[in-house]
Structure 1
Amino acid sequence: MKYYHSYRTHKISAYFFNPVDDELPEKYGHDFCKKTRDIVFTGSAYNFAGIERKDVIRYLLTRNDVNFFGGIENIVNANNIFHKIKRKFLSQGNRYNKRISGEEYVAVIKSAKIGIGVNAIQTVPRYTSDRLQHFMSFGTFFLQFYFPELEKFFNLKEEIVSFKSIYELEKYIDYYLKNPEQREKIARAGQCKILSCYNTKNITKMMLDIINTGNSTMFEWTDILS
């Protein structure tokens, strides 16, 4: 944000958390549907993805209980002919899937026991892909690769679970697949937090406060440069 502020002409720059529409879960059915997929990982194959994202994908490709959507797995196998043959064959069983959107995307999120999150860039404080908002707002348990200051948004291991290594990721996946009650308790708490706190109304109010007064007390993590 300091870089952005220094190269623009405005007087105030403020960080904000990507908001969620708290009416969407009700629109698409505010229920916890049957979980038919163990693990879901969605995203695009950005060629600038950091090593953390590539390492996570490499690990997930070794598991047989992961469904990929959007071609994200191609980050590490774009030029591997054996992977291309394997992908074509296994796509018939829904392991590898094309990019989806709208109701189909929501249905996939709600069908997952566990969603995995790892940003293209993991070192920027408070930055997260909106994948986190998508999964958590629809009540899916989310495992997020830790990014700096994540704990300012959520109570770790109560509303969201983070990992810092492939070892931790594997440990948490195996544990929470075997412990559905704990998994769903955390998922419900995370959904409640993100819908009640980080909805469009609250984030918009924060932005309007800053525009009108130059400050906001809406969230303790509000960061303003002026």
Structure 2
Amino acid sequence: MTQENFPKAGKILFTLSKSRYHPAFQTWYFPLKRQCKELICFDTHWNEILYGKKIMNRKFIEFIKKEEPDYILLGSGPDELYLDTLLKIKQVSPKTKTMMSFGDDDVEFERFSRYIMLFIDIAIVHQKKFMGKYKKEGIKNIFYATGLDSGTFKPLDIEKKYDITFTGQPLTEKTGRYRFIKFLKDKGMPINLFGWGWEKYFDLKNIYRGILLNEGLLKVINQSKIYLDFSKNSAGEPHLKGRIFMGGACKTFVLTEYCKDYLDFFEEGKEIIMFKSKEDLLKKIEYYLKNEKERQKIADATYKKVIENYNLDVELRNVFNKTKNKKYICKLPNISEKSFSISEKDILNKNNLMDKLKNYDYISFKKNGASYLKFKDFLQIYSLKITKKPISCCNYYVYTKNLGDYLCSCTEKSFRSLDKEDFISFLDLSQIVVTKKFFLDNLEKFKKAFHGKIDFLNMDNTAFVDFPLVRIKKISIKKYPIMEKVFSFKFVYQLYSLYYTKKIFYKPYIPSLFFEIFSGKFFILRHLFDSIRDKSRMNKLKIYQDLS
């Protein structure tokens, strides 16, 4: 049966970027378009930049109510769509099925994926080893996909003009991408660099070739003798990446940083060549540049394996065929256990406290100026039950009346990147929910915790929940590089929204922002300067604006 003869899904709503420079567009847009009768778009990220989060969520629901799509592919993080919005989808369009793709479960499953899937119908998972984890937690409708668009990535009959290429972003220091590329450049290797963010590295200026559209990416891969695939994620852990599939589909030789997960797909030495160090990478580049026939033999074997086994069109068709006649009702798990919110006054009166806790299973904490958001108790109690850990810790917004939520903490990320003293300084007790047993066993620690000494969290005893579920007003102020590791700076998006909607001089946002700066939050001013000077960020915003 040909592609045209397969039954297609009805109407699909694509919520990711419409920019042809964006990886989400490059991966999903055309395969979805081929597999449905109508593909419509609502870019949640760009609409949040334009209108702000609250209005974007309202417009999103109005759009769904009007269009009544059969499927929605969601790609938002924990701070874009309200969880309430995900539940409202079924209210305004009962037939609509929600899907989300998960490509980074080695980083995100524990803190994000397992929780967001309580609100989503279908998961498309790109790391095969996590399929079992979803199923073990009772999460149904899980489908595996490599994410390869073989309709876009294919061999072209053109000259291989580049000896070595890498396409992608620098990401974090822990990925090692900059170090590998700088090493090759310093060794005189003819490497060519494409992608967002590299313009900030002046020492790589003479090898940087700019950003690529879909067509440009396809062409560059086909023009490459060696296409590099760095495997570490932002936390520095080995991680399955898609470049081996893209390069393989183009019949281009891919040299891949070692990750054992690739061995589930390819035979090492015949279908994939991997390196384990800078020196190993250099040695293999020199060898395969000199040995064209051997290089092409491996590229041909990779191509055969990819084309015969990994194809997003086939994988999406499987998703739609198995789900099209099913009706999904988003029903959250029943949490019968209750939490009691304790103040500092409560904790100092132990006799009364024991009586108050008699009918409760979990403990949360009241702090002056903190307010709980919807689903806080539900998600944090659920996290304690599912992980069997004694502590749950969520993210928080930093809020003022005039600025709204102008910062959002990234607690688990900062736990991994900061030293213990700095990490503790940004914790707020209102983020934490604990089992009653842990609370009673550590009563003296919690007395100190009300005064800022929250030194008992670690990866073994804490379930991090990567959603902002609390609003607070006061935070510690540290040097800018530390603040960058702790917070997402939401005020930048709000400024752009006010500028784009021509309201920047009609609201007190800028005076309020400068009030915070003059009160000691100089990191705000530093981030504003960095954002203006960041050509990559400004170019992305311009591309978004041109699309709107």
| TM-score, normalisation: structure 2 | 0.32
Structure 1 position 5 matched with structure 2 position 117: no
Structure 1 position 123 matched with structure 2 position 247: no
Partner of 2:193 in structure 1? 68
SS of aligned partner of 1:39: strand
SS of aligned partner of 1:44: coil
SS of aligned partner of 1:58: helix
Task: String of CA shifts for 1:97-148, please: whole Å, max 9, x gaps.
Answer: 11011322221111110000113515255x31x3333222111100111123
Residues 123 and 178 from structure 1, CA distance in 2 versus in 1: closer, same or farther, beyond 3 angstroms?
A: same
Contact 1:57/1:73 (8 A) holds in 2: no
Task: String of CA shifts for 1:67-88, please: whole Å, max 9, x gaps.
Answer: 11125655xx64x6xx2xx72x
Partner of 2:160 in structure 1? 35
User: In the alignment, which of 14, 19, 22 is matched to residue 150 of structure 2?
Assistant: 22
The structure with more radius of gyration: 2
Residues 155 and 17 from structure 1, CA distance in 2 versus in 1: closer, same or farther, beyond 3 angstroms?
A: farther
Query: One-letter code of the match for 1:180?
Result: E
Ranges in structure 2 where 5+ consecutive residues have no aligned partner: 1-104, 121-138, 325-548
Task: String of CA shifts for 1:176-215, please: whole Å, max 9, x gaps.
Answer: 0110001001111111211221102442355458769xxx
Contact 1:71/1:96 (8 A) holds in 2: no
Partner of 1:57 in structure 2? 181
Partner of 1:167 in structure 2? 279
Higher relative contact order (CA 8 A, sep 6+): 1
SS of aligned partner of 1:38: strand
- CA distance, structure 1, for counterparts of residue 297 and residue 146 of structure 2: 24
Contact 1:158/1:189 (8 A) holds in 2: yes
Contact 1:42/1:69 (8 A) holds in 2: yes
Partner of 1:222 in structure 2? none
User: In the alignment, which of 246, 251, 255 is matched to residue 139 of structure 1?
Assistant: 251
Partner of 2:216 in structure 1? 104
Query: One-letter code of the match for 1:16?
Result: Y
Contact 1:68/1:97 (8 A) holds in 2: yes
Query: One-letter code of the match for 2:237?
Result: T
- CA distance, structure 1, for counterparts of residue 322 and residue 177 of structure 2: 34
- CA distance, structure 1, for counterparts of residue 183 and residue 198 of structure 2: 11
Aligned-residue identity in percent? 24
Contact 1:53/1:119 (8 A) holds in 2: no
Contact 1:45/1:72 (8 A) holds in 2: yes
| TM-score, normalisation: structure 1 | 0.72
- CA distance, structure 2, for counterparts of residue 72 and residue 170 of structure 1: 24
Query: One-letter code of the match for 1:138?
Result: C
- CA distance, structure 2, for counterparts of residue 56 and residue 13 of structure 1: 39
- CA distance, structure 2, for counterparts of residue 39 and residue 166 of structure 1: 15
Partner of 1:151 in structure 2? 263
Partner of 1:44 in structure 2? 169
